[in-house]
Amino acid sequence: MKGVRPYFSILVVCLNPGEKLVGTLNSIKMQKFHDYEVIVKDGGSNDGSIERVKEMFTLWQQEHEAISLRLIEKKDSGIYDAMNQASKEAAGCFVYYLNCGDCFRSDNVLGDMAQHIERSILTHPGAPGIYYGDIYERVTGQVVASNPKMDAFGCYRNVPCHQACFYSRELLSAHPFETKYKVRADYEQFLWCFFASGFEKGVTFAHFDLLIADYEGGGFSETKENRRTSAAEHREITRKYMNKTQLFKFKAVMILSLAPLRTWIARNEKTAGIYNKVKSLVYARRKS
């Protein structure tokens, strides 16, 4: 798997992240698989965190000379603009975004994912892909399983969050995150890959039974105001990629399946465990 390019580009965007950034970077440094680069894209922090990063990178480089560690200090218009800026600098075959406060679940994540991707490539040669697993959500203390088989309804209802996804770099080059979306630009990018990418051999969507990250939760997209924004952006994006018949059918299914109640159950610390166990069982049946 070793080549001219690093296998993975691990991108971390931040603005005044405090100690969270150090914890996130330490989870990368602990990885046993070393064919990767790290790009920290900072939007102008003034809390002393970037000085810590520079010190950390100096020591890290002494231990692993072959690993590229880069700090990009540049203003941006928000998280998705920062992610786009980092993506343009990425040299890896596959790109992963690890948010400040989030950490890899184990020190074998990159190695395990590399093996899974290589097997998937043998099955789908020449097709770029989104390769994804599951996450652990610290807010609820539960494993959140991702949909194992993507279809149009899955795209409407539940795509994996970007903390669960490794992207072929060409997907992000061909269609960067649309920064007009404040909460759901990653959702729009995923739907573009599924419905409208235009790649000759299509796009591979491959799920693996692998816990990718400890997701901090409770962040930018989960404030009350941004949940309203999220709902509005979801309506706009689904209209962009889905026809009226699909939208009518999918909305009906969500209403009949009590989607708002299920969302409340999934976000409640006392009930999230039961909900995620049931969801995991449903997804296990889909895989069989």
The pLDDT score that the predictor gives to residue 141 is 86
The pLDDT score that the predictor gives to residue 142 is 85
**Spatial CB neighbours of 21, under 8 Å, sequence gap ≥ 6:** 12, 14, 40, 49, 52, 53, 100
Which one, of 137, 98, 164, lies nearest residue 272 by Cα?
Answer: 137
Q: Which CATH superfamily hosts domain 1-101?
A: Spore Coat Polysaccharide Biosynthesis Protein SpsA; Chain A (3.90.550.10)
The pLDDT score that the predictor gives to residue 87 is 97
The pLDDT score that the predictor gives to residue 254 is 86
Residue 1 has pLDDT above 50, yes or no: no
The pLDDT score that the predictor gives to residue 70 is 97
The pLDDT score that the predictor gives to residue 139 is 83
The band of 10, judged by pLDDT with boundaries at 50, 70 and 90, is very high
pLDDT tens, residue by residue, 220-264 = 556 667 889 999 999 999 999 999 999 999 999 888 775 555 555
Is 146 in contact with 134 (CB distance < 8 Å)?
yes
| Total Cβ atoms within 10 A of residue 113 | 23
pLDDT tens, residue by residue, 85-130 = 999 999 999 999 999 999 999 999 999 999 999 999 999 999 999 9
Q: How many residues does the chain have?
A: 288
Separation between Cα atoms, residue 19 and residue 39, nearest integer Å:
17
Residue 182 has pLDDT above 50, yes or no: yes
Q: Say which range, 11-20, 136-145, 147-156, has the weakest mean pLDDT.
A: 136-145
Helix (H) or strand (E) holding 21: helix 20-29
Separation between Cα atoms, residue 268 and residue 153, nearest integer Å:
25
Is 109 in contact with 181 (CB distance < 8 Å)?
no
The pTM assigned to this predicted structure is 0.87
- Domain edges within the chain: 1-101, 105-288
Alpha helices in the chain (DSSP H): 20-29, 49-63, 79-89, 109-123, 152-157, 169-174, 185-195, 224-241, 244-256, 259-267, 272-287
The band of 9, judged by pLDDT with boundaries at 50, 70 and 90, is very high
Residue 143 has pLDDT above 60, yes or no: yes
The pLDDT score that the predictor gives to residue 2 is 45
In angstroms, the first-to-last Cα distance of the chain is 30
**Spatial CB neighbours of 2, under 8 Å, sequence gap ≥ 6:** 35
Instruction: Please provide residue 196's backbone torsions phi and psi, each rounded to the nearest 5 degrees.
Output: -140, 20
What percent of the chain clears pLDDT 70, i.e. is strictly above it?
86
**Spatial CB neighbours of 154, under 8 Å, sequence gap ≥ 6:** 147
Residue 283 has pLDDT above 90, yes or no: no
Distance of CA 203 to CAs 24, 43, 148, 267, Å?
Answer: 30, 32, 15, 31
The pLDDT score that the predictor gives to residue 258 is 57
- β-bridge mates for residue 143, sequence order: 136
Q: Say which range, 1-5, 21-25, 72-76, 203-207, has the weakest mean pLDDT.
A: 1-5
- β-bridge mates for residue 96, sequence order: 10
Residue 272 has pLDDT above 60, yes or no: no
Residue 265 has pLDDT above 90, yes or no: no
**What mean pLDDT, rounded, does the chain reach?**
89
The pLDDT score that the predictor gives to residue 63 is 92
When pLDDT is averaged across residues 210-225 and rounded to a whole number, the result is: 77
When pLDDT is averaged across residues 180-195 and rounded to a whole number, the result is: 97
